Structure 1
Amino acid sequence: MHSAGVLPVRPARRRILITADAVGGVWTYTVTLARALARHGDTVLVVTLGPPPSSTQHREIAAVGALTGGSVRLHVTDLALEWMDPEGRDLDRARETLAAIARAFRPDIVHLGGFREATADVGVPVLVVAHSCVRTWWRACRGGVPDDPRWRVYADHVAAGLAAADAWAAPTRALRDAIADLYAPPRPGVVIPNGVAVPPADDPPPERRSVILAAGRLWDEAKGLDTLLGAAPRLPWPVRLAGDTASPDGGAPIALPDGVTALGRLDRAALLAEMRAAELFVAPARYEPFGLGIAEAAACGAALVLSDIASLRELWDGAAAFVPPDDPAALAATLTALCADAPRRRALQAAARRRATRYGADAMVNRIETVHAALAACRVAPTNDRAVAGATIIATGGAPA
């Protein structure tokens, strides 16, 4: 028996089951995390829910697996993502499927990218990582919470997952506090900022171009890109927009004003190349739990212009220019001023690069491994020591000052 207050020595290898979806930033987060955990000696099984990974995403996992001697593998399911199944019609099957995968893989920790699957009987400690949720999105984008009965069912399932999890985390204090306010989980959440791993360019970086870059799904009102479209006709520099312009419901692509070039959905290498070349990166979001794309653009040396919302102010205060959300005139004025002020752009670019070092992959993984270690200690600890392990999660999982 280990003494109270001392966590067991970390085993040479741990088996980690991670659930994720293959859409957007959660996939980037998952690949970054899986690669780092495997390099630290863990064996990782990535289980996808929702739309299946693309051939490119399959190759990403295969490349990580090859790099780490097969320590990262992919298991694709056809389980519904919880926000695509608010009534919970697929929840029982999801619980059964994850329990079966856990029995076969025998993980030491289950690291969930969703909420409701924490109610599955996997037999090991469970960490829920809150990447986003419909109610926090709704409150930021539309005000209040949705009153449709199906979203009340969704909220009940999120609350049940948070209550069932052994620990839960969020990438910012803003999201953690919003989740706590809406769902009242029995355990306090820890803040673990997401981490980015930006590979070095193969060649010297290109000369920066006089362009403004934005990235995101144009149809997602959370991204606030309609505000950028409203500002675009007044801007002295062209805007390049990476991401889908047509919604997944089959609607026609959104019309773009003159001066805006739609780049479509880019693979990560192409997007990073755009970030290395652009003078300015703009994210006029109404809702952004973290913003991996913003952190990547900062690491690539673009000056940041961000909406003044709690999460982005928390992460980038002092390293970006801020504008009110939903204000095309203010956005146009700020961007126009920066286009004309090279010294100010250089200062913002340097500040963004410095701040991005806080959000590196190593820092994220070190905090996550601390939580994993405390959860593993909870699994084997006597009753009196489990409180110590739980306190360790809270004490060491927070964001840097």
Structure 2
Amino acid sequence: MTADTVGGVWTYSIELIRALPHIEFALATMGAPITAEQRAEASQLPNVQLFPSSYALEWMDDPWQDVDRAGDWLLEIARSFNPHVVHLNGYAHASLRWAAPVLVVAHSDVLSWWAAVKKCEAPRGYSEYRKRVAEGLNAADVVVAPTAAMLRSLGENFSWRGDGRVIWNGRDPQLFSSGIKRDVIFSAGRAWDEAKNLAALEAAAPQVRWPIEIAGDTSHPNGAELQFKYVRALGKLPGHQLVERLATSAIYALPARYEPFGLSALEAALSGCALVLGDVPSLREVWGDAARFVDADDHHALAAALNALIDDVAERDKLADRAQRRAAEFSPQRMAAGYNAAYSDCLTPRAVEMVP
């Protein structure tokens, strides 16, 4: 299994490995050096061998030399580990000459990100990315996405029509709890990420009657530092502190322009927060009537939605309860069952059409 260390894919990978204790995993990490906290998480799982690296990911700037080197490295790991299935949380490496069937998980992609965030097609500079992702999708034996919206986007952007299925992500509810709620609005994520759109909370904050707190990295990879005036920036919190903030925050706001699933919203719901989310198809698909949805670029509507829940305690509690019950459906056990079936399908010989 591959995983990047810079986003939610790490959390997803650890949760899935934990939920499949009967399967031995070789976990190859890329994107950035693994942190001490991540290494400690992996060390607690007896069914994983960790292979860390800092090779660039395919969505990063000018990554292809690193991507090719990472491919050689992954094949070397496979030769020693001898996997029954290759589980890739990315696209490009699916087209390598693997000796085992390949499952690709589509957590996100640059082209759908660009369409949702920039409201236009990705620039021509992404032609190599488009080519490599399409080749990877077409080489995969099975393609998985966490939502039907994400799965549809693969066909729209890469003309892919292969074997695809939706398997919801999951989080262990025992890792989260609902405590005494403070009159505060909380959010978490990379503050500089235009897709997460946490800057909208800064814009809406002067109109909102409760304080807003944001946990997450404020330093852009290009070196720029995002400054906040009206919200409280907590920086990147350790896992246990993030859990504490979720437990004691009454409202969780994620005005995302693009979010193919949204693990942070799931964690907030498991913690008893009322959800205010960006009105995008994937989040509608996941949460239905268990969240309030707002136009991600309408800061007045965002402030109004937050103030409405601030003023109506009964509605806020009702929405939080609805979200928590919905969140219980996204269990690690359900996710594990889906992947067990997908792995089995990868290993099932397919009928070959004989051409006279």
Please give the range of the TM-score, normalised by the shorter of the 2 chains.
Answer: over 0.9
- Indicate which of 138, 142, 148 corresponds to 1:167: 142
Q: Which residue of 2 aligns with 1:26?
A: 9
Gapped runs of 5+ residues in structure 2? none
Query: Aligned-pair distance for 1:373?
Result: 0.7
Counterpart position of 1:5: none
Please name the residue that 1:305 is paired with. Answer: 276
CA deviations on 1:328-372 (whole Å, 9 max, x unpaired) are 100001101110110001100100001001111111111011000
Tell me, yes or no, if structure 1 residue 76 matches structure 2 residue 52: yes
1:391 aligns to what? none
- Tell me what 2:173 maps to: 198
CA distances 1:12-55 after superposition (whole Å, capped 9, x unpaired): xxxxxx10001121110010011111x2x111111011201101
Aligned to 2:76: 100
Q: Kindly tell me: are residues 101 and 85 of structure 1, through their superposed partners in 2, closer, same or farther at Cα, counting changes over 3 Å? A: farther
- What is the rounded CA distance, in whole Å, between the counterparts of 1:137 and 1:73 in structure 2? 32
The Cα offsets for residues 62-90 of structure 1, whole Å up to 9 and x where unpaired, read as 0122xxxxx21110123221112556223
Q: Which of 17, 41, 46 is matched with 1:60 structurally?
A: 41
- State the distance in 1 between where 2:266 and 2:48 align: 25
Amino acid at match of 1:24: G
RMSD: 1.5
CA distance in 2, matches of 1:225, 1:139: 18
Secondary structure of the structure 2 residue equivalent to 1:288 = coil
Q: CA separation in 2, counterparts of 1:366 and 1:27? A: 19
In structure 2, the residue matched to 1:137 is 113
Structure 2: which amino acid aligns with 1:199?
Answer: Q
Amino acid across the alignment from 1:249: N
Query: 1:87 and 1:112 mapped to 2: Cα distance?
Result: 17
Contact 2:31 2:54 in 1 (8 A): yes
User: 2:221: which partner in 1?
Assistant: 248
Amino acid in structure 1 at the alignment position of 2:51: H
Distance 2:257 2:244 in 1: 26
1:347 paired residue among 315, 318, 329 = 318
Task: Specify which of 207, 210, 227 is matched with residue 234 of structure 1.
Answer: 207
Q: What is the identity, as a one-letter code, of the residue corresponding to 1:364?
A: M
**Count of residue correspondences:** 353
Partner SS for 1:195 = coil
Amino acid at match of 1:266: L
| Aligned residue number for residue 94 of structure 2 | 118
Q: TM-score, with normalisation over the residues of structure 2?
A: 0.96
Q: Is the 8 A contact 2:218 2:235 kept in 1?
A: yes
- Provide the identity percentage: 41
Is the CA contact 2:146–2:261 (under 8 Å) kept in the aligned structure 1?
yes
Tell me the TM-score normalised to structure 1 length: 0.85
- Cα drift, residue 179 of structure 1: 1.2
- Contact residue 15 and residue 171 of structure 2 kept, 8 A: yes
| Structure-1 separation of matches of 2:335 and 2:242 | 22
Matches within 5 A, 1:279-294: 279-294=250-265
Contact 1:86/1:153, CA 8 A, preserved across alignment: no
Return the offset for 1:382: 5.8
Structure 1: which 5+ residue stretches go unaligned? Answer: 1-17, 66-70, 385-401
1:205–1:142 Cα change, 3 Å: closer
Contact 2:173–2:328 (8 Å) recurs in 1? no
Distance 2:28 2:323 in 1: 34
CA distance in 2, matches of 1:246, 1:256: 12
8 Å CA contact retained: 1:279, 1:303 = yes
Q: What residue identity is the alignment partner of 2:228?
A: L
**Is contact 2:94–2:140 with CA below 8 Å preserved after alignment?**
yes
Instruction: Tell me by how many angstroms 1:200 deviates.
Output: 4.5
Amino acid at match of 1:240: E
Letter in 2 for 1:358: E
**Cα deviation code 1:361-391 (max 9, x no counterpart):** 111111011000111123xx6647xxxxxxx
Assess if the C-alpha contact under 8 Å between 1:98 and 1:120 holds in 2: no
Aligned letter for 1:53? Answer: I
Are the equivalent residues in 2 in contact too, given 1:98–1:122 (CA < 8 A)? no
